[in-house]
Amino acid sequence: MLPIFICEDDAVQRKRLERIIENHTSIKELDMQIVLSTENPQTLINYVEKHPDASGLYFFDMDLNCEIDGIALARKVRALDPDGKIVFVTAHLELAPSIFEHKIEALDYIVKTDDPDRIKQKVMECIQVVENRQKQSKKSFFKVTARGRTQLVPFQDIMFFEKKVDHDRIDLHLESGQIQFRGVLNEVEESNPNFIRVHRSIVVNKLNIKHVHRQSMELEMTNGEICVLSVRGLRGLKKVLSKEKYLEN
Which has the minimum average pLDDT: 44-58, 80-94, 178-192, 223-237?
80-94
Which pLDDT value is given to residue 112? 85
Domain boundary among 77, 109, 140: 140
pLDDT by residue (tens digit) across 20-78?
999 999 999 998 999 999 999 999 999 999 887 778 999 999 878 788 888 889 989 98
Q: How far apart are CA 207 and CA 238, in angstroms?
A: 14
pLDDT by residue (tens digit) across 146-204?
887 788 898 989 999 999 877 778 999 999 999 999 888 999 998 888 899 999 999 99
Residue 173 shares a structural domain with residue 127: no
Which pLDDT value is given to residue 103? 65
Q: How far apart are CA 199 and CA 145, in angstroms?
A: 24
Domain boundary among 140, 167, 193: 140
Does any domain span residue 249?
no
Which pLDDT value is given to residue 238? 84
Which pLDDT value is given to residue 151? 83
Does any domain span residue 33?
yes
Residue 15 shares a structural domain with residue 109: yes
Residue 30 shares a structural domain with residue 136: yes
Residue 11 shares a structural domain with residue 32: yes
Q: How far apart are CA 201 and CA 192, in angstroms?
A: 17
- 156-177: burial string, b at 16+ Cβ within 10 Å, e else: ebbbbbbbeeeeeebbbbbeee
Which helix (H) or strand (E) segment is 58 a member of? strand 57-60
Residue 84 shares a structural domain with residue 167: no
Contact at 8 Å (CB) between 126 and 147? no
Residue 73 shares a structural domain with residue 39: yes
In this prediction, what percent of the chain has a pLDDT beyond 70? 90
Domain count, the chain: 2
Does any domain span residue 247?
no
Residue 155 shares a structural domain with residue 197: yes
Domain boundary among 90, 114, 140: 140
pLDDT at 242 over 70: no
Q: How far apart are CA 130 and CA 75, in angstroms?
A: 20
3-class secondary structure for 205-240?
EHHHEEEEECCCCEEEECCCCEEECCHHHHHHHHHH
Residue 50 shares a structural domain with residue 161: no
DSSP 60-118: E-S--SSSS-HHHHHHHHHHH-TT-EEEEEES-GGGHHHHHHTT---SEEEETTS-HHH
Backbone angles phi, psi at 192, to 5 degrees: -155, 135
